[in-house]
Amino acid sequence: MRFLVINGSNGLGCRVLGVALIMLSASMVYGQVPDSGSSSDSGAYVLRDAGYEVFSSDVNLDGHPDLLLRSSARLTLLPLRKSVIPLVLPPISPTFALFSMPDGGYDLEFSLLDSTLRDPSWKPARYRLVYGDVHGDGIYELLLDPQQTGYPALLIESANTGVVLIQLLDKESINADLSSSGTSAELTEVNDDQRADLVVRVDGVVFQVVIASEEGQFFVLADPDDEDEQSDDNDQAATTLIWKEFCGALEASDIEAALRYVSSDSQQRYREAFIQVPDLSAIAGHWSDFRPVSIGRYYAEYSLTQTVLGQEETHMITFVKEGDRWVLQEF
């Protein structure tokens, strides 16, 4: 390993530091689990700060993509009297691979053979790396959001032993294919429980919200006729977020953006109504106290307080399901 000493140095100090650098470089083996105490912010951003690059291949030749997440070394400057030594530190989180399994799932491995790591078939994969605290413990997890059709979406967490696969986010578990064109995912807290929830968007519009469970996982019911508290939470979170973004579009006087959250059979009449409003941005300012009245599988009703000329009155808002997503019907 080569290093640079700036502005002169003490000879003995350089020799000691040179030995230290050589020892550090020797320890930087892909797949080695770093000391958990080496991360900053008590490990909150370990996965983010690892600088992962994503590669894909079909290493096990089963016709499904395998993934390699290669972490990056870190460069820091070490001051020594009148010298500054560039010091290369090992990655704070290990390189690991995700191999497809016969049952359709994925297996995470970070004790990888050198031949696997250096396999020339690994090519850069198109993924968005999304971070959020799905456990509510201050530690940020990693969601691999695919930008290629047919590639898996996976949720990863950091652990004392390295990294752990929390969940494969597929159509069966979340009722959405995150690899579909125009589809994207976010991890953001929606229901004020300190855990980041999964927000799925299609062409930038909220498609659905899936609330994080106590285990930091995401599920929707396969049978929409089943009654379940988790589904009610998902539907309430989705309709509440849609209403918030709809109001935000009105405040920005963006009629077309607002209408994207309105049912197809109501769009024309509301477009005509919005055009007639002198100050569209002021409408949402008259609404407050938005709260659920009833939420079913295909229909939801909310109430809010509407203030007109200093007088308050209760106003009802209705949502309906169009396909698999909630839209505004009456407001």
Query: Is the pTM above the cut of 0.85?
Result: no
Question: 139 and 261: one domain?
Answer: no
Whether residue 188 sits in one domain with residue 267: no
Q: 302 and 166 share a domain? A: no
Mind listing the pLDDT tens digit for each residue in 187-224? Answer: 999 998 999 999 999 999 999 999 999 999 999 865 55
Range of the domain at 102: 11-220
Within-domain flag for 1: no
Is 49 in the same domain as 93? yes
What's the pLDDT score for residue 12?
36
CB 125 within 8 A of CB 151: yes
Asked whether residue 238 carries a pLDDT value surpassing 70, the answer given is yes
Tally the residues of the chain.
331
Poorest-confidence range of 24-28, 62-66, 93-97, 278-282?
24-28
Does residue 183 fall inside a structural domain? Answer: yes
The count of other CB atoms within 10 Å of the CB of residue 323 is: 7
Give the separation between CA 226 and CA 215, rounded to whole angstroms: 22
User: Does residue 260 share a domain with residue 183?
Assistant: no
In a domain, 227, yes or no: no
Q: Please tell me the predicted confidence (pLDDT) of residue 170.
A: 95
Decide if 242 is inside a domain. no
| Count of other CB atoms within 10 angstroms of residue 240 | 19
36 and 98 part of one domain: yes
DSSP assignment of 62-125, as one string? SSS-EEEEE---EEEEEEETTEEEEEEEPPSS--EEEEE-TTS-EEEE-S--HHHHT-TT-EE-
**pLDDT band, very low/low/confident/very high, at 226 (cuts 50, 70, 90):** low
The pairing of beta strand 183-188 with beta strand 197-202: antiparallel
How do strand 66-70 and strand 96-100 relate by DSSP bridges?
antiparallel
Q: In the beta sheet, which residues pair with residue 183?
A: 202
* CATH number of the domain that residue 306 is part of: 3.10.450.50
Go through 247-281 and write b for each residue having 16 or more CB atoms within 10 A of its CB, e for each that does not: bebbeeeebebbbbbbbeebbeebeeebeeeeebe
CB atoms within 10 A of CB 176: 24
- The H-assigned helical ranges of the chain are 11-27, 46-49, 114-117, 171-174, 229-251, 255-259, 267-276
Domain count, the chain: 2
Q: Residue 5: inside a domain, yes or no?
A: no
pLDDT of residue 76: 81
Nearest to 135 by CA among 231, 191, 232, 217: 217
The residues pairing with 84 across neighbouring beta strands, listed in sequence order, are 79
208 lies in the same domain as 252: no
pLDDT digits (tens, 9 = 90+) for 136-178: 999 999 999 999 999 999 999 998 878 999 999 999 999 999 9
- How many Å apart are CA 85 and CA 87, to the nearest integer? 6
pLDDT at 38: 39
Q: Are residues 185 and 312 in the same domain?
A: no
231 found inside a domain: no
pLDDT at residue 19 tops 50: no
Same-domain status, 152 and 254:
no
38 lies in the same domain as 179: yes
Judge whether 235 lies within some domain: no
